[in-house]
Amino acid sequence: MVALASIDYYEAITGSLETPDPARLRILLELAEGAVLAGAHGQNIVEQEYEDVTLYNSDGRFYFPQRPVTAVASVVVDGLSLTAGTDYRFTSGGDGRAAALIRRVNGRDSWWACAEATVTYTAGWATVPAQIIGAVVATAHGIYNGSDATTQTITPEGQAIPSFPAVVLAPLAMKLQPAVQQVIDALCKVDGPASVEIGR
């Protein structure tokens, strides 16, 4: 899978000319990517093809699990292969809208009467959006720069034990900051119909 952010992006965005510990930063970027994907409402971000996916009818529409949809290679309903443009069209989704497969009858949009469709389609971004790259970098940056700030607790035996103050524990838990989550929501969240498969 294509990485959402690289060390080069990290250095460019943060202004770091040279990263003192690239191996550690690479791991933190991978962990931050996982945190961003976990907050992306089920969206995989990077463009890929999804083969023979079953979509379930929701009020006469089929909604794709992934967005934005960029191509639909095949649609099979009740064992019949449908023709693009004549039998169906699709919307890519975005701006809070789900991606939908819409039935066409006599040149007009209509409703699907069948319970399910089997679809092969392509969804995601061919180029990772700058907002997502920034979200990964911001999350990794909070840990990379914050996790070294420790305090020391002296035990009765006179031994020093390092401990992390509360302000450091939040980024260490890979918790997305509200501003970062808002950026992800703007690209990936759907207002209204769910973009996940809905069974009946």
| HEC string for 30-75 | HHHHHHHHHCCCCCCCECEEEEEEEEEEECCEEECCCCCEEEEEEE
- CA dist 131 and 133 (Å) reads 5
pTM: 0.79
- Predicted confidence (pLDDT) at residue 197 exceeds the cutoff of 80: no
pLDDT of residue 145: 78
pLDDT of residue 156: 61
Instruction: Compute the 3-state secondary structure of the chain and give helix, strand, coil in percent, each to the nearest 5.
Output: 30, 30, 40
Nearest residue to 43 (alpha-carbon basis) of 60, 23, 66: 66
Assign 198 a pLDDT band (cuts: 50, 70, 90): very low
